[in-house]
Every structure is written in structure tokens, then in C-alpha cells.
Amino acid sequence: MAKPKKKPIQIYLREDQAERLHKIAERRGESVAALVRQGVDLLLEQLPAEEDPLLDIVGLYDSGLGDLAEKHDEYLLRLIQEEGSREP
């Protein structure tokens, strides 16, 4: 499995934060960057659903199907069958 791509980002920490982070990283044998990523992961895991930016996609499009939530399996099956019948 490929490692996820990392995007560089610059942050400014208070001096006490940086010192503590460096000591923890040294004790654990990890990089400061790895610890910061772990902290970001913890924050994102604890994020209340209503603050999750991924939920902004909900309601962006209207399928025109009033029962899509209840019958999504049927619609997907129909789509797969239609696409399968188009193959040569």
C-alpha cells in the first residue's frame, strides 16, 4: 500500500509548545512532524459531525429521485445492469 502524500505546511508554535514537542519526539524516537500529524488526526477524529467540512457536500445535488435514500441499492443495481448490457 502506498504511503499517503504529505503536504508541507508552516505553523508557529509558542516556545513552550515547541520545547515540549521536541522532548516528546526525542523520547519516543519520532519526528516532531509525526507528532503534529498525530495531534491533527486526534482533533479531526473528535470533530463534531456538524463541524465536519466533508458534510458540506450533502444537498449539493438533487437526483430528482425522492426515494433515493431508501432505494439506493435498487438504483445502483439497475445502473450496473444497464452498463453491463452496453458492453460488446
The pLDDT confidence band at residue 10, using thresholds 50, 70 and 90, is very high
* pLDDT surpassing 70 at residue 88: no
Pairwise CA distance, residues 18 & 35, whole Å: 11
Residue 1 domain-assigned (yes or no): no
Residue 74 domain-assigned (yes or no): no
38: nearest Cα among 29, 48, 30: 30
Residue 23 domain-assigned (yes or no): yes
The pLDDT value recorded for residue 84 is: 81
Find the domain containing 38 and state its range: 11-53
Residue 41 domain-assigned (yes or no): yes
Per-residue cell: 66: 425522492
Residue 28 domain-assigned (yes or no): yes
Domain count, the chain: 1
* pLDDT surpassing 90 at residue 30: yes
Residue 24 domain-assigned (yes or no): yes
Q: Taking the model in full, what pTM does it have? A: 0.55
51-77 pLDDT tens trace: 777 777 777 777 888 888 888 898 889
Pairwise CA distance, residues 52 & 63, whole Å: 23
Q: How many CA atoms lie within 13 A of 88 on its CB side?
A: 0
